[in-house]
Amino acid sequence: MSAGSFDITIEEGADFAMKLDYKDSNDTTIDLSSGFSARIQIRESVSGDLIAWGSSSSDTPSDDTGSLLKHATVTMGATVPNISITIPGATTNNYTPTQFEGAVYQVELFDVSSITRVMEGHAHLSQRVLK
């Protein structure tokens, strides 16, 4: 099954939340509360610098030097939504329009033997008017 394609907009200074319902071929929500992990990366371009990342496991992007403070929280569940991704407003407040000029993101589901792309697309920043 190929990944879904959906562009996201992150509002500068506001909490960001993405809730996904990953289902099987029978349109039944899959229990992801154990045995699976999920991760997200938002990058300035496909091979560009990390803007944000998060994982429900201890998985870390190979190019994160440990100094990246802009990160997402990824949680897994048994029911809808079975994948939840959040980025706090204190973090989105530090994003810049330049970072998002060609930004893309990808969400993956993985276990010990496989990786499945769940969702991907462009990431946009809606700038804050009130500072």
Read off the pLDDT band of 70 (50, 70, 90). Answer: low
Q: Which is more confident, 64 or 104? A: 104
Average pLDDT, the chain: 91
How many C-beta neighbours within 10 Å does residue 45 have?
A: 10
With tokens 């909490």, the residue in question is 15
Pair of tokens at residue 1: 């099954």
Which of 119, 115, 126 minimizes the C-alpha distance to 105? 119
The proportion of the chain whose per-residue pLDDT surpasses 70, expressed as a percent, equals 95
State residue 64's pLDDT score.
Answer: 74
CB of 87 closer than 8 Å to CB of 72: yes
The answer to whether 56 and 109 are in contact (CB under 8 A) is no
* Mean pLDDT of the 39-58 span: 93
